[in-house]
Amino acid sequence: MKKIVFILFNILILQNLLVADITFPKLTGRVIDNAGILTSNQKETLTNILNAQEKETSNQIVILTLKSLDGNEIEDYGYQIGRYWKIGQKDKDNGVLLIVSMKEKKIRIEVGYGLEGSLTDARSHEIIEYKIKPYFKKGDYYKGILEGTNAIISSIKGEYKQEEHTSTSSGNVFPLFILYFMIIFIAPFIASFFGKMKLKKTSRVFQSMIFGGFAGLFMTIGTGSFIISLIAFIFFTLTIFRANSKIVNSTSNSNRSSRYNSIGYGTGFGTGFGTGFGGGFSSGSSSFGGSFGGGGGSFGGGGASGGW
């Protein structure tokens, strides 16, 4: 129980450190080119495409380009701005955001709750990898955004056709699933074995690898990237191991001191956990300043990210 409380405490502290003030741009239209990578004619073409499909289906798609994320993760930024702008209809949650950040060279497709069944995380990842990135690498940002937008619309309509190379991508990801599943299910037995052998430190390593395995598995599902999943695996394994070691050392020191204490030994956590984070979100205006606005849709973090 003490271990669980300690870990939760550290997670809350980490969240407070990571949350930063984000100033969102105004929602002035279906195409918001803050990075200045599109011409007026290109923005008009994209706007007409999005306007036509919204009239036909009521699905709202917004394209946003940024100069920089200002230190924020694009996944968090996409989730927060999607909920802030309320893209999509309130009763349908049928909004989609296509976000491009030039400085970090990041792309994000953020999908509303109501469209996650047709525009899945895997499909969003495929659109980024095979429809958008090839053009971005050539410096043709308009073509990449146009192809990505058309693919998003086709996917929502159920008309999207998989690329032949998708199976190869899935084949490359499949071994990662096997690897992390093996870690998750085998590590507890190895940890128990070393624990019985009195090799406590080695046992804690394998205990920590269980959490790392879950992190790697989730990142594999979310991104399909070996590098990202490996980083997540190592980070969580080391973090949990260090937290576990601190608890063990603290408990050991307390037990030693209790030998000379006739009153007894007790532990308690007097720290109050506050959930009111200091980060705030503002758009610089309480109104959208134009005829276009969100319809009250909500987002839950569905979608995919990539880079070029």
Asked whether 209 and 219 are in contact (CB, 8 A), the reply is no
Q: Would you say residue 279 has pLDDT above 80? A: no
**For residue 30, what pLDDT is reported?**
94
> 71-80, 129-138, 265-274: which has the minimum mean pLDDT?
265-274
Q: Is 33 helix (H, G, I), strand (E, B) or coil?
A: strand
Question: Is pLDDT at 16 greater than 60 in this prediction?
Answer: no
Separation CA 114–CA 86 (nearest Å): 13
Query: Which pair of structure tokens corresponds to residue 94?
Result: 């049928």
Say yes or no to pLDDT of 265 above 80. no
Mean pLDDT computed over 197-222:
82
Of 306 and 173, the one with more pLDDT: 306
Tens-place pLDDT, residues 53-68: 999 988 999 999 999 9
The larger pLDDT score, comparing residue 34 to residue 254, is at 34
Asked whether the whole model's pTM tops 0.75, one would answer no
Under the banding of pLDDT at 50, 70 and 90, the label for residue 248 is: low
pLDDT of amino acid 273: 35
Comparison of pLDDT for 99 and 93, the residue scoring more: 99
Pick the CATH number of 21-163 from 3.10.310.50, 3.40.50.2000, 3.30.160.60, 3.40.50.300: 3.10.310.50
- Report, as an integer, the average pLDDT of 266-294: 41
Q: Is the pLDDT of residue 135 over 70?
A: yes
Give the mean pLDDT of 122-128. 93
Distance, CA of 182 to chain centre: 24
**pLDDT-derived band of residue 108, with 50, 70 and 90 as boundaries?**
very high
Instruction: Say what the pLDDT of residue 194 is.
Output: 83
- Secondary structure of 235-299 in HEC code, one letter for each residue: HHHHHHHHHHHHHHHHHHHHHHHHCCCCCCCCCCCCCCCCCCCCCCEECCCCCCCCCCCCEECCE
Give rounded-to-5 percent helix, strand, coil for the chain: 55, 15, 30
- Mean pLDDT on 89-112: 92
**Confidence band for 288, pLDDT divided at 50, 70 and 90:** very low
pLDDT value for 109 = 95
